[in-house]
Structure 1
Amino acid sequence: MLTTTALQPLAHDLDETAPDFVVIDVETACARVSSICQVGIVGFRNGAEVFAYETLVDPRDEFHAFNTRIHGIAAHHVVGQPSFADIHATVTAHLSGRTTVAHSYFDKGALAAACRVHNRPAIETTWLDSVRVAKRAWPDLANHKLGQLARYLGIEHRHHDALSDARAAGWVIVKAIDHTGLTLADWLAPPRVAGPAPAAALDGPLRGERIALLGQPRDGPLAHRVAALGARVMTSVGATTTILLVAGPDPQARALRTHPARLKADAYRRDGGAIRTLGEADLDALLHRV
């Protein structure tokens, strides 16, 4: 169902209710990415939705049947609706100076093109691609399209509706933060590339163990500790891994229980593998008994 809801922007970031990030999705009328015919924007703060803005847009361009088949918007739907030039100030108020999420950078390119075509200033914002976030948070998924992610994460979603797509992409970010423990600032930073794993000591109580780590990189302090005790630190969980070692105080945390490495270890164990999943306290107890 096509709707037009134009909520006023919230007060900007000096307001304590300002969003941590906003999410935008656009639909286009034809192959030209500037031909925006629908905009949806959703703001999130502290893991909850705090505002939504949606409007149909007269693209001042032609509609192609291919695009209409995808999103259901045709030329007669946008008669009397504002042009992009008309809503530019509202979109800018929501995005400018904030972190803006989009599922792929199609929407970033479409906004930039629409600004040029309609002779409006470029919108200055910090972009975050929720596809990149999803690939890092759930690397074992077959694909990271928004519909697939919504089904996997239990997010209500109506594909190719700008407001629904924006809302779903926002929940992907919220759930990725919960799943990984990484903050929004962490996701904005370039991903750290782990260095080589430390070499195993020639002898020690963990000699012969092949340990994969969950919650710390392969070159972190926990990796150096177990390597000094004779274990070989593995890059990832595999058929020859003997221990999945979960860093941190709570190895049974919900986010860790559903981590791909944990699920892979469980699968190897069900198939008869000798892999054990231990927390740091379990490791200490094991060493105490040796």
Structure 2
Amino acid sequence: MTSWVAIDFETANSLRGSPCSVGLVKVQDGRIVEEWSSLIRPPAGYDHFDAFNVGIHGITAHHVRGAPGWPETLERIVRTAGGAPFVAHNAAFDIGVLAAACEASGLPVPDLRFACTLVVARRIWTGLLSYKLPVLADALGIDLPHHHDAGDDARAAAHVMLAALKRQGTAALGDLLAVHRIRMGSYRGGVRQGCRHRGAARREPFPDTDPDADPDNPFFGLTVCFTGTLPGMTRAEAAERMNAPGARTVPAVTKAVDLLVVGTIDPRRLAPDAEKTGKLAKAAQLRDAGNDITAIDDEEFYQLLAVAGS
């Protein structure tokens, strides 16, 4: 399996079925052989543009006027892949966008396989506090001119996977995943199976976890802490949004914390001469000491909320 296609989507709003741009980078035998990106007219009913999303990628309704719709875009995606697996950074989001756009358009979700560079990176480059694509690209010396440009992000994700393959000494995606006990994700007959590390311990529910919470959602069983301000959401609202997916929130960073969500930081509230909040400094200290704690920013948090359906 030496042929695969890196893919990245940007969305018009918080609905996963609202793709407004896509980037594709096809790799064969360790070399990039094709690149393509396009704006997309989101499916009807999913085509409003939220200020939050526009602030991230700069795409508006005006930009996608006259752009291809989802059916034409899907046809190009499937044709480019030619049955090869997809690769994406936080693939649960991007593959979820593809599936949701199909459902919003009344189209069947094509059978497909996918691997996640986020899952792979966490197994190979251990010890990082954040695995956000720009952070990872910087750590690996990968050029990422414009984060949230779908073409640039897809290319960066492709180079992350290529770096992982080179480190492993193989051009075969299947060999890399097998060595690190990572299960290839898939959509078969409308049933999704995520890309995940097979050795990951099953997270146990908290005593007060909602019995309807999906144990496969990205927040299930996690202890979450917040620092900074989240756009469009109070700290109390964010904590409330963690209940349904089966997470719990705590006010301080300790060894029990799995995930630190970092919002906008007001520099006036930092301690004198400090460059980061006390919670972020504590998280970095715990990570350096070997604790499995990850920091994500507000964009990643909202993406995970979309994946969790919360």
Q: Which TM bucket (shorter chain)?
A: 0.5 to 0.7
Residue identity opposite 1:90 in structure 2: R
1:133 aligned residue (110, 120, 123)? 120
Residue identity opposite 2:142 in structure 1: I
Question: Counterpart in 2 of 1:84?
Answer: 70
Partner SS for 1:40: strand
Matched, 1:122 2:105: no
Question: Counterpart in 1 of 2:162?
Answer: 174
1:164 aligned residue (149, 152, 162)? 152
Matched, 1:22 2:5: yes
Shift of 1:161: 0.5
Question: Counterpart in 2 of 1:102?
Answer: 88
Shift of 1:92: 1.4
1:93 aligned residue (75, 79, 83)? 79
Question: Counterpart in 2 of 1:113?
Answer: 100
Task: Give per-residue Cα distances to partners, 1:109-165, cap 9 Å, x unaligned.
Answer: 000000011112212221101101111110122211100011111111120010100
In 2, the alpha carbon distance for the partners of 1:121 and 1:95 equals: 17
RMSD over aligned Cα atoms: 1.7
Contact kept, 8 Å, 2:26 with 2:81, in 1: the verdict is no
Residue identity opposite 2:63 in structure 1: H
Shift of 1:96: 5.0
Contact kept, 8 Å, 2:10 with 2:21, in 1: the verdict is yes
In 2, the alpha carbon distance for the partners of 1:143 and 1:48 equals: 27
Percent identity of the aligned residues? 41
Contact kept, 8 Å, 2:11 with 2:18, in 1: the verdict is yes
Question: Counterpart in 2 of 1:67?
Answer: 53
Partner SS for 2:95: helix
Matched, 1:187 2:176: yes
In 2, the alpha carbon distance for the partners of 1:144 and 1:167 equals: 16
In 1, the alpha carbon distance for the partners of 2:65 and 2:154 equals: 24
Shift of 1:69: 0.3
In 2, the alpha carbon distance for the partners of 1:43 and 1:142 equals: 29
Matched, 1:38 2:25: no
In 1, the alpha carbon distance for the partners of 2:166 and 2:81 equals: 24
Partner SS for 2:5: strand
Shift of 1:180: 2.8
Partner SS for 1:170: helix
In 2, the alpha carbon distance for the partners of 1:118 and 1:94 equals: 20
Question: Counterpart in 1 of 2:280?
Answer: none
Partner SS for 2:75: helix
Residue identity opposite 1:24 in structure 2: I
Please say which structure displays the higher CA radius of gyration: 1
Task: Give per-residue Cα distances to partners, 1:206-236, cap 9 Å, x unaligned.
Answer: xxxxxxxxxxxxxxxxxxxxxxxxxxxxxxx
Contact kept, 8 Å, 1:96 with 1:123, in 2: the verdict is no
1:47 aligned residue (30, 45, 68)? 30
Task: Give per-residue Cα distances to partners, 1:177-220, cap 9 Å, x unaligned.
Answer: 11233541123333475xxxxxxxxxxxxxxxxxxxxxxxxxxx
Alignment of 1:219-234 (within 5 A): none
In 1, the alpha carbon distance for the partners of 2:166 and 2:23 equals: 24
Matched, 1:142 2:125: no
Q: Higher relative contact order at CA 8 Å, sep ≥6: structure 1 or structure 2?
A: 2
In 1, the alpha carbon distance for the partners of 2:32 and 2:154 equals: 11
Query: Structure 2: which 5+ runs fail to align?
Result: 183-197, 200-310
In 2, the alpha carbon distance for the partners of 1:111 and 1:50 equals: 23
Contact kept, 8 Å, 2:168 with 2:176, in 1: the verdict is no
Residue identity opposite 2:176 in structure 1: W
In 2, the alpha carbon distance for the partners of 1:68 and 1:187 equals: 36
In 1, the alpha carbon distance for the partners of 2:3 and 2:77 equals: 16
Residue identity opposite 2:132 in structure 1: K
In 2, the alpha carbon distance for the partners of 1:99 and 1:82 equals: 23
- Count, aligned residues: 176
